[in-house]
Amino acid sequence: MALFEVTLILLLIAVALTALSRWLEVPYPSLLALAGAGLAFLPGAPMIEIDPELALALFIAPVLLDAAYDTSLRDLKRYRLSLVLLALGAVVFTTVVVAFVGWKMAGLPIAAAIALGAIVAPPDAVAASAVLNQFKVPHRLTAILQGESLLNDATALLIYRIAVSAAIGSVMLKDAVPVVLLSTVGSVAAGYLFGRISLLTLTRIEDAASSTVVQFAGTFAVWIIADRIGLSAIITIVVYAITIARTAPRHMTARRRVSTYSVWESAVFVLNVLAFVLMGLQARSIVGRLSGEGQGDAFAFAATVLAVVIVARLVWVLAYVAIMRRFARFDSEEQRRDAPTFRGAVLVGWCGMRGLVTLVAAIALPTGFPGRDPIVLAAFAVVLGTLVLQGISLKPLLRRLNFERDTTVDREVAQARVAIMQAALDVLSRKTTAAAAVVREQYEAQRLVAENPEDAQAATEYDRLRLYAINRQRDTLEELRRNGTIGDEAYHRLEEEIDWAELAASPAGRFQPLTTY
């Protein structure tokens, strides 16, 4: 019961911290990390151990699917070289450097040292995205960071599973290569197959709540099945999510889509909070087991791993950018303009905050794993240190780098908006009824606004008028229910219609309903 009460309190605190993070303009995981670390010093906090397999399935599966669902295949292809160098090269480089430190400084077995390296290797772009979006940094950089965040999880967790298996004696490192190759190919095929099966199921479910439950159940089922048959659950989930993302939205109703997105967003937020709760509770028990001289050595080792992780990423990113710019001298002028810059390299290198994947991978180490306590403590130090040091300093760094505001996504949205408005007008052109004339007039107005995205005043005025009218509709609807003219069933049906109208009138959430005009 104590754990439930602590978790409930932490969830409410997390909501307050999220609001505080927006006010301070820092990533909310940075404040969550501080709150989780505070649990380690909270008197009477409960001790808890979680089953390793449950930790990976419960936390990693939905978070990976959520990230993969939002991944742009176009950007993955466009920036494939940078993504490979980061998601594969940087992860392997960091793993090797940290493993060497763990082997030399802490005396960890090779397999356990590699597991530590894989745990702390993958950065999490979620922590950086909120701040980056405020500054409208070049789209290339945000696309690379988001793509890397997905792919490096798969790389790091694959290395992690092999290293853990080798450390507990279930597989030899020298036999891992053919296992990895077979697992990778099989996982890609299985992920695509599971995705197609899931699509057949989801397209036949109309109820929003049932659809969301099936999505969660399907995600966990795919992870468990892939793990049981010897495939890489990580790769399978990633391919599964991308397969669904390319097809499912077209076959879902707007109601189901809005409901699903909001539930997944809330679920990922709750999982982040719970992970930091577990971090604090585990850190408390670990610090309690370490005593005397061993405690000092463990903290010194954790601080060293934190420094190595930060420096290793910066060295790798700056080195590969320097090499790419050197070869870019032989490219065309257009290719030279698209070459990575050292300002971008500094930003990408500094956006190395570790998050949920590192936390869960550390928590999921089996009890009795060689060097488990110093490994878990080092992982927690890396998460806390990178989120606090890099996360809080990200905004000042962006001001210093002074990137020009990037409008790539805004231009794409404007172009697409004109196209979809014109498509609606084309399909209505053959309709001659009075109702069709009213609808055409609305779409004509929206197209005119879309064709002039630089005319911010026109867009603002148009949306303000719509939201002003919608707010009046809500007042009238409330009055009709209050005076008994309509019942709750009619009220909720009309309320849903007004909700959709308000969503359509609030692009990117820029405006709120107005009470006066």
What is the pLDDT confidence band of residue 328, given thresholds at 50, 70 and 90? Answer: low
Length of the chain: 517
**How many Cβ atoms sit within 10 Å of the Cβ of residue 370?**
15
> What DSSP character marks residue 340?
-
Burial of 374 (0-12, 13-18, 19+ CB in 10 A): buried
> What DSSP character marks residue 211?
H
The per-residue pLDDT for 119 is: 94
Rounded to 5°, angle at Cα 479 from 474 and 483: 155
Mean predicted confidence (pLDDT) in 323-335: 67
Tell me the C-alpha distance between 63 and 122, whole Å: 14
Tell me the C-alpha distance between 29 and 378, whole Å: 18
The per-residue pLDDT for 459 is: 54
Inform me whether the pLDDT recorded for 191 exceeds 70: yes
Amino acid 398 reads L
Tell me the C-alpha distance between 402 and 135, whole Å: 9
* Of residues 247 and 175, more confidently modeled: 247
Helix or strand or coil: residue 108? Answer: coil
Give residue-wise pLDDT tens across range 478-507.
888 888 888 777 787 788 788 877 777 665
Mean pLDDT highest for which of 81-95, 163-177, 417-431, 479-493? 81-95
Contacts of 375 (CB under 8 A, 6+ apart): 102, 108, 112, 115, 116, 119, 362, 365, 369
> What is the signed CA dihedral for 96, 100, 101, 104, rounded to 10 degrees?
170
* Of residues 516 and 345, more confidently modeled: 345
The per-residue pLDDT for 450 is: 72
CB 406 within 8 A of CB 137: yes
Poorest-confidence range of 98-102, 296-300, 466-470? 466-470
What is the pLDDT confidence band of residue 414, given thresholds at 50, 70 and 90? Answer: confident
What is the pLDDT confidence band of residue 510, given thresholds at 50, 70 and 90? Answer: very low
Helix or strand or coil: residue 389? Answer: helix
The per-residue pLDDT for 514 is: 40
Q: What crossing angle do the helices spanning 254-289 and 61-69 adopt, rounded to 10°?
A: 140
What is the pLDDT confidence band of residue 3, given thresholds at 50, 70 and 90? Answer: low
Give residue-wise pLDDT tens across range 379-413.
989 988 998 888 888 888 888 888 877 777 777 77
**How many Cβ atoms sit within 10 Å of the Cβ of residue 319?**
14
Helices (H) and strands (E) in the chain — how many of each? 24, 0
Mean predicted confidence (pLDDT) in 177-204: 82
Burial of 237 (0-12, 13-18, 19+ CB in 10 A): buried
Mean predicted confidence (pLDDT) in 132-156: 80
* Of residues 164 and 436, more confidently modeled: 164
pTM of the model: 0.77
Tell me the C-alpha distance between 357 and 165, whole Å: 18
The per-residue pLDDT for 2 is: 62
Poorest-confidence range of 51-60, 306-315, 363-372? 51-60
Inform me whether the pLDDT recorded for 369 exceeds 50: yes
Tell me the C-alpha distance between 156 and 234, whole Å: 10
* Of residues 202 and 410, more confidently modeled: 202
Mean pLDDT highest for which of 54-63, 99-108, 336-345? 99-108
The per-residue pLDDT for 308 is: 95
Helix or strand or coil: residue 145? Answer: helix
Nearest to 406 by CA among 484, 347, 336: 347
Poorest-confidence range of 68-72, 170-174, 324-328, 404-408? 170-174
Inform me whether the pLDDT recorded for 270 exceeds 60: yes
Contacts of 401 (CB under 8 A, 6+ apart): 343, 346, 347
Q: For all residues of the chain together, what is the average pLDDT?
A: 80
Inform me whether the pLDDT recorded for 508 exceeds 50: no
Mean predicted confidence (pLDDT) in 133-158: 81
Q: What is the DSSP string of 248-271?
A: GGGGS-HHHHHHHHHHHHHHHHHH
The per-residue pLDDT for 335 is: 56
Poorest-confidence range of 64-78, 186-200, 335-349, 451-465? 451-465
Inform me whether the pLDDT recorded for 192 exceeds 80: yes
Residues above pLDDT 90, as percent of the chain: 14
Q: Match 């990895």 to its residue by tokens.
A: 180
The per-residue pLDDT for 303 is: 94
Give residue-wise pLDDT tens across range 105-122.
988 999 999 999 999 999
CB 268 within 8 A of CB 353: no
Nearest to 506 by CA among 443, 464, 452: 464
Inform me whether the pLDDT recorded for 29 exceeds 90: no
Rounded to 5°, angle at Cα 53 from 48 and 55: 50
The per-residue pLDDT for 174 is: 55
CA atoms within 13 A on the CB side of 240: 28
Poorest-confidence range of 149-158, 170-179, 389-398? 170-179
CB 201 within 8 A of CB 218: yes
